[in-house]
Structure 1
Amino acid sequence: MPRCEPLPPAVDTPVDEVVDRMRALDAALPPRDGVAVFNRVYLAVTREVDRYVDTGRFADPCAAITLDVRFARRYLDAVEAALDERRPPACWRPLLQFRRHPGVRPLQFALAGINAHIGHDLALAVVDACRALGCAPAELEDEFDAVGDLLVSLEERIREDLMPGPDLLQIADPLTHLLGSWSLERARDATWTAARTLWALRELPDVAEEFTARLDTAVGFAGRMLLTPLSRPARWG
């Protein structure tokens, strides 16, 4: 794969663009909106990517930026489509439809966002990045792993910020069972397989389109399950 030229210190990058879009979204949405819940933690992790770029912590910053930005844009484009009353991908529809449901807890909104973003967006972003860089997925595996590690930090941040205290999260609490039904590691593994499959299907556009549509639907179904209301409806502030 052709390597990119090193970036000069403190250069503006496309990561700055997606950070600005996330900030604007954060300012526009009510704090308890389900999309806002996910956006806040994703914004924090994307800022960390920006710091990694500025301090030269990526071996190939251009490849890392290419993947990360294409990944983030898929989320932002989906949300902006919904806000503009256009139809977003199926994987994002449950979160966008249930974002104000009073019986859904903040942790569920965040996990549904991660599910949509990893299960669908990341696979397509790998293919987008490969086309932009003129390489195969195997040549982006290091960058995929780096993004995956940042997503682990995203999940950890979500659990730290949104997990109920031990006195609230009892074994009988339905949220306990919900948390055990979804695995970030399994989602990452499935996404890497999906990305490699889509790349292998690039010469069969009809099959690739069908595979992408079915992936989108399946991830959306999982997201709908993650958003099963668990609490009594309460008034939103």
Structure 2
Amino acid sequence: MSRATTTTGWDSAATIDDVLDRMDTIASTLPTDDGVAVFNRMYRQVTRLVRSAIEEGEFGAGPFLERLDVHFANLFFAAHAADLAGAPVPVAWAPLFEQRDRTGTHPVQFALAGMNAHISHDLPCAVVLACRELGVEAQDDTPEHVDFSTTNAVLEQAQEEIKTWFSSGVVARLDDLGGRLDDGLATFGIHLARAAAWEVSQVLWALSDNPRTDGLFRTNLGRGVAMTSRGILL
């Protein structure tokens, strides 16, 4: 199937509603079996649940989670816009965008590769952006850190619904055999990845006064994340 290959420009999302609208636009322009579309669909569901949790007052650090969510999504949108414009996408995203049409790849592999790029690479960058905007620091045991960790509960809420999108064929049979063990491992993996992302954000924060070292660290972070994604997509 074909997909759009040109773009008329790109503006950053400013609110979570903007984020969801942008995700709807991406979904409307891509075939459903496109690897980027698979990730976008999953990401939209998680974002919808985060918005609901914010509206229900489940977070205590003021606007931090909303601003984090917006900065976080804009990094994915920037990669998507670069691809549309025919420009190189960030290294961490390259495996997913390069292999999005690869036959024989299970949809869950696309979803996991996107999660890897977004959580392991983009999330720490988004934490730094949100903290700078709000004048706070990425420190442990702060209200911002508590809200960051509380988001894990939202991911658990989304897990069962999202899993059904991929539960077919071999995946379904493995799930029947493994019971809920694989579910627990999947959630635990996400928790670990997000905890690591918070720690990486602290490194980035500490490097903010040393542009050269910061640039080297970010470059190698992207390369390492890309290597993992290529393994996921094999």
Same fold (TM over 0.5): yes
1:191 equivalent to 2:197? Answer yes
SS at match of 1:104: coil
Where does residue 159 of structure 1 map in the other structure? 163
Where does residue 147 of structure 1 map in the other structure? 151
Counterpart residue identity of residue 197, structure 1: V
Where does residue 11 of structure 2 map in the other structure? none
Give the alignment partner of residue 205 of structure 1, picking from 200, 211, 230. Answer: 211
Q: CA deviation at 1:205?
A: 1.3
Instruction: Supply the distance in 2 between the matched residues of 1:116 and 1:150 (Cα, whole angstroms).
Output: 19
1:209-220 pair list within 5 angstroms = 209-220=215-226
Number of aligned positions between the proteins: 209
Q: Give per-residue Cα distances to partners, 1:63-99, cap 9 Å, x unaligned.
A: 1111111111111111121111111111111010111
Is the contact made by 1:90 and 1:220 (CA closer than 8 Å) also made in structure 2? yes
Q: Give per-residue Cα distances to partners, 1:13-60, cap 9 Å, x unaligned.
A: 700011110000001100100111111111111112222233333323
1:21-100 pair list within 5 angstroms = 21-100=22-101
Q: CA deviation at 1:132?
A: 0.4
Counterpart residue identity of residue 198, structure 1: L
Where does residue 21 of structure 2 map in the other structure? 20
Counterpart residue identity of residue 124, structure 2: A
Counterpart residue identity of residue 50, structure 2: V
Instruction: Supply the distance in 1 between the matched residues of 2:114 and 2:159 (Cα, whole angstroms).
Output: 11
Structure 2 unmatched ranges of 5 or more: 1-13
Where does residue 121 of structure 1 map in the other structure? 122
In the superposition, relative to structure 1, how do residues 148 and 76 fare at CA in structure 2: closer, same or farther (>3 Å)? farther
Give the alignment partner of residue 231 of structure 2, picking from 216, 219, 225. Answer: 225
Q: What is the TM-score normalised by the length of structure 2?
A: 0.81
SS at match of 2:174: coil
Instruction: Supply the distance in 2 between the matched residues of 1:78 and 1:146 (Cα, whole angstroms).
Output: 27
Q: Percent identity?
A: 38
Is the contact made by 2:49 and 2:158 (CA closer than 8 Å) also made in structure 1? no
Instruction: Supply the distance in 1 between the matched residues of 2:21 and 2:47 (Cα, whole angstroms).
Output: 10
In the superposition, relative to structure 1, how do residues 153 and 14 fare at CA in structure 2: closer, same or farther (>3 Å)? same
Instruction: Supply the distance in 1 between the matched residues of 2:31 and 2:74 (Cα, whole angstroms).
Output: 21
Q: CA deviation at 1:105?
A: 0.6
Q: CA deviation at 1:190?
A: 1.8
Q: What is the TM-score normalised by the length of structure 1?
A: 0.80
Q: Give per-residue Cα distances to partners, 1:185-229, cap 9 Å, x unaligned.
A: 33122212111111111111111111111111100110011001x
Of 88-97 and 55-64, more deviation after overlay is shown by 55-64
Instruction: Supply the distance in 2 between the matched residues of 1:216 and 1:154 (Cα, whole angstroms).
Output: 27
Give the alignment partner of residue 174 of structure 2, picking from 147, 162, 169. Answer: 169
Counterpart residue identity of residue 147, structure 1: T
In the superposition, relative to structure 1, how do residues 155 and 86 fare at CA in structure 2: closer, same or farther (>3 Å)? farther
Instruction: Supply the distance in 2 between the matched residues of 1:133 and 1:149 (Cα, whole angstroms).
Output: 24
Instruction: Supply the distance in 2 between the matched residues of 1:223 and 1:131 (Cα, whole angstroms).
Output: 29
